[in-house]
Structure formats: structure tokens, C-alpha cells
Chains A and B, each alone.
Chain A
Amino acid sequence: MSLTLQEVEHIAELARLTLSEAEKEEYRGQLSAILDYAQRLLDLDTEGIPPTSSVLPPQSVLRSDEIKPSLGPETVLKNSKHTKDNQFQVPPVME
């Protein structure tokens, strides 16, 4: 199968990635080759086979609802370049 440039641009948009024209072209070819290779999966009959969601039997992860200490705002914000009044600051979402 061969991805079109429009499909590559659509995926990049979904993935929130700005790509150069050269990258788009490169990924178009490489992703097409990888997806070609993956076509062999479609030949397998998986009727009635459940998908693997976890390799181990699911276990209960419930715990009692107790308040425990967590990282303070100054620690959590330390790695951000955009903070204001103890909060993250983001560029405008809409005009």
C-alpha cells in the first residue's frame, strides 16, 4: 500500500507534529513500506481470538482513599518555562 501526501499530513496533524516537506516525503515512503510489511497480519484468521490487553491476569488495584503527601506546586512547576501565579501559562487557545 502507498500512503498519499494528504494522508501523511492528516496523521501529522492528529499527532500534533509540524513536519518539513522533506520529512513528509520521507515518512510517506517509510511508513508505506512498514505498513506493507504489516499486511501479512491481515491474512491470519483471528475469528474468536480475544485481543491481549494485558499479559498478566488483571488484578485489583483499588486502595483506600487516604490523603497522602504529593509534590508541591513549586516542585511541579520547576521544569516549565511558562508559569504564572503558581500555575502553568499557555498561549491563547483561540483568537
Chain B
Amino acid sequence: MTDLTQLTVKSTLALLKNKQVSSLELTRAYLDRIENLEPQVQAFITRTPELAIQQAKAADEERAQGNLHGKALLGLPVAVKDVLALQNVRCTCGSRILEDFIPPYTATSVQRLLDAGVVVLGKTNTDEFAMGSSTENSAYQTTHNPWDLERVPGGSSGGSAAAVAARLAPVAMGTDTGGSVRQPASLCGVTGLKPTYGRVSRYGLVAYGSSLDSVGLLAQTAEDISLMINYMAGFDPLDATSADLPLSPIDLPQEANFQGKRIGVPKEYFIEGIQPEVEEQVRTAITHMESLGAEVIPVSLPHTEYALPVYYLIAPAEASANLARYDGIRFGYTAEAENLLENYKNSRGTAFGAEVKRRIMLGTYALSAGYYDAYYGQAQKVRTLIKRDFETVFEQVDVIATPVAPNTAFKIGQLADDPLAMYLEDVFTLPINLAGIPGLAFPVGFDHKGLPVGMQLLGPHFGENLLLEMAHAYQLSTDWHMRVPTGI
């Protein structure tokens, strides 16, 4: 019997459908693998083996009765990032302040996958409140990159990316506010989609930067994501910013053909300071697509250099408002102070980690009287310029191709004391969230240390289907996405 945990979502669903394997067997195989490898990888904050077994048994019963009610993902195990609420399962957001928080409801995105039949293996590690690029900001553990256990998996969805790379789950949910799906996908050699802002409901996603937050998926292949995303996406009356637009079927190509596709390559994303092997592998992938029919067009996104300062004013400003809800009263850690003000200050001062406090301070400053216009106001205007850059380029091209991160996975601790250097790792992913467009990261090679290199394809609003179709065409003609880490 083949090792069930090495299979793609597509192969797994075929085995389940043909009753060649039960969800219980499959789920037990993953739970066993998690048991064995978790001490090294540390991808999960909370494992849910009992829930998973119960869901798997229920899935098998439903399949046996032959009444599937359109449950296309029936019995498929998934991992869920621990910033998405799942009713009656602890949701920590990687923070001590929510150490005991048991959500009384389930996020719409999670509920929709549950409605399609998935089995939940556990809640994956994240930087605290999704603020970080390495999972080192988690209050619980640092996840280790399966390609080199001394290195970070990226972040903030580092637990989800490492879980897929280590085959602890065939697919995982992540969230992306400034690159938090794509950058860990890149560092762990897996495929990760950040959908268009508003495509997937944010209801039940613990808020970080509400104008930027997106819920996405990480899996081995673009095809796997295409099999699942439309079950998760779509209008939700519980999220006022969710887009009331129909979902269209994803039409994956049968062969690696890029005829008629125009790929824009922005010069601002191939800059000094980028690791040479990253640039080389990304350019090789673009040339590969060109050799299969794509037209490659040099383009310019002139305000790219401003994206980092814009993001690090807007996201902390939104975070400082969103995280005001942690008052030490209604839920979460409480400091037991003598009066209300001290209770607020001590609860928050004690239970928030360093990066969260740093961003709350930064955001509070950017919004404070006397500085609002200069910082937050100006950042919102420059955001418009960044968004317009993309709109102009998408008049000329179908997609944009860029590196995901300037470097491959860095060592644990390497950037921990230098927040600005850590922020620079997001330089190629942040602009996408500021513009609200979709981005898809996938592996296009390795550096000399054997660490994965990722590329991202970017599309106009609601253009995620084309990204998935093109990445699938690339994956039909390459095998980077099928490489597995051998060191664990």
C-alpha cells in the first residue's frame, strides 16, 4: 500500500471516492505521522485527534449510505491556522492573551469546508495575531522548516506551510495580510493562494488588518487548491466586505501551454539585495513559460518602494484598533488589577508579545492627534498610487510574475532582534495586499543549500482562476512541487 500521507488532495479524493481507502484509515495515517514528526516540526499549536476521528467516522458512514449531499471533500483531512475560529476548539492566535479562549462559533471559511466534508487534524502555529514572517513571534513554539530544521518556515502561516511540506496534512488553511500565506509557502516549497480581498469571508478570522486580511489555502499543487477554493469562497452576509459576485468554475489546462498569455515582469521586483539564486530560478521559470508560448513583457510598478512603509503604517494602525478588544474582561488573560484602567493596561502589557506590542504602539502613534495626516493619511493616499500602478499594468498583461521573498529560508533567530530587517522579507508580498489583488506562490527551484525558491503570479481583482490555471500548466511541465524534504 502506498503511503497515504504522500498523496495530493486530488489523488486522496479519488481513493476516497472509489472506496479504496476510508477516511478513518487516512485520518489515522496523518495522526500517526503527526505524532512521529511533530516533535521536530512543531507545526501545530493544538491537535484535535478525537474530533478528527469522529469526523472521519461520520464521513465514512455518509459515504457508505451513498448520500453525499454534494460533499465533494468528504473525508479529506485538513489543518487550520490557529487564527480561524472553530467552535469549541481552543483558538490562541499564537498569543498568551487567548491561551484559554474557546470560540463559541465557527469561521465561515472553515464552516464551508466542514460543510463540504473535511476532517480537522488541528490548529497550526502562527506568529502572534499573524504578525510576523517566521512563526518566531508565536507565544507557544517556533515551527521548524522541514527542509532544514534549523531554519524558519516563514510566517505567519508557517505552521500550515510546514505541515503541508512535511506531509502532516494534504492541505492547510492560512491567512495572508502582507504575505502570510505566500511567503511561508515559498520558504517551505509548497503552493499557496492568497485570494482577492473579499473573495473569502473574514467572519471568524481573528482580525489583524481588516482592509488587508485574506483567507487562503496551502497545498502541494495549484490543482489541489483549485479543487477546494470555490467551496471556501463566495459571498457571506456576515462579512460586509465579502464580494457579492458569482464564483466561476476553474478550467485547468490539460497540457503545459501558455499560448496567448501575457506575463508582466516588473523591474522593481528584481532589485539589488535579492539572493542571486532566487532571481535566477524565478527568471528561469518565466523563460520556461515563454518557451511554452507566453509573451513576456517588461513592466513597471513605480511606487513599489513605498509599499513597505505604507504597509507598516496602515496594518499596525488597523491592528491597534482591532486589538483594542482584548480588554482582560470579556475573554482572554486578565491581570486582576484594582481598577479598570490598570486591569486593561496590565492584562495587555503582560499577555501581548513583543511584536504585537510594537505594532500596537506604531499604529497608535500613526493614528494619534498631530500625526494622523502625516502618517496614516499620507499612507492611505500612497496606497492609492500603489493600487493604480497595478491597474495600469493589468491593462497590458494578464498576470505579473515576481519572486515571493528576497531570500530563501533564514535561520531561526537570525532576524529576531531586527524588526526592520524582518519586515524587509515581506517587501514583494505586501503590495498585493495593499492593492487587494490575488497572488499565488509556488516552487520554481532550489538554492545551493537545497532550500526552496518560490515565485508568485499576481492577477487583477477576482483573477485567481487564471493564476491557478497558469500555475497548473507550469506544474504539468516541472516537478519542483513534487520534491519532498528528506531530512525528517
Contacts and interface: CB of A to CB of B under 8 A. Distances in A.
A51 B309 contact: no
Nearest to A75: B104
Interface string A25-51: 001001101110110111010100111
Contacts of A82: 329, 334
Contact of A41 (B306, B334, B419): B306
Nearest to A56: B198
A53 B385 contact: no
B384 A16 contact: no
Residue among A8, A15, A56 facing the most chain B CB atoms (10 A cut-off)? A15
A75 B104 CA distance: 7
B419 A30 contact: yes
Interface in A68-95: 71, 75-76, 78-82, 88, 90-95
Contacts of A27: 357-358, 361
A64 B381 CA distance: 35
A75 B329 CA distance: 15
B237 to A, nearest CB: 7
B378 A34 contact: no
B345 A11 contact: no
A88 B325 CA distance: 14
Nearest to B381: A46
Nearest to B303: A44
Given A76-B104, A78-B102, A52 B380 contact: yes
Residue among A33, A91, A93 facing the most chain B CB atoms (10 A cut-off)? A91
Contacts of B100: 79
A61 interface: yes
B383 interface: yes
Interface residues of A, number: 49
A9 B334 CA distance: 22
A95 B340 CA distance: 11
B357 A14 contact: no
A71 B383 contact: no
Residue among B309, B312, B338 facing the most chain A CB atoms (10 A cut-off)? B309
B87 to A, nearest CB: 10
B345 A50 contact: no
B244 interface: yes
B344 interface: yes
A17 interface: yes
Contacts of B312: 34, 37-38
Interface string B355-368: 00110111011001
Contacts of B361: 8, 11-12, 15, 17, 27, 31
Contact of B360 (A17, A44, A61, A94): A17
A37 B311 CA distance: 12
Contacts of A42: 374, 378
A54 interface: yes
A10 to B, nearest CB: 8
17 contacts: A11-B364, A15-B348, A15-B364, A17-B348, A17-B361, A46-B385, A51-B377, A53-B380, A55-B198, A55-B434, A56-B197, A59-B243, A61-B240, A79-B331, A80-B331, A82-B329, A94-B339
Interface of B: 100-102, 104-105, 197-198, 211, 237, 240-241, 243-244, 305-306, 308-310, 312-313, 320, 324, 329-332, 334, 337-346, 348-350, 352, 354, 357-358, 360-362, 364-365, 368, 374-375, 377-385, 387, 419-420, 423, 434-436, 461
Interface of A: 8, 11-12, 14-19, 23, 27, 30-31, 33-35, 37-38, 40-42, 44, 46, 49-56, 59, 61, 63, 71, 75-76, 78-82, 88, 90-95
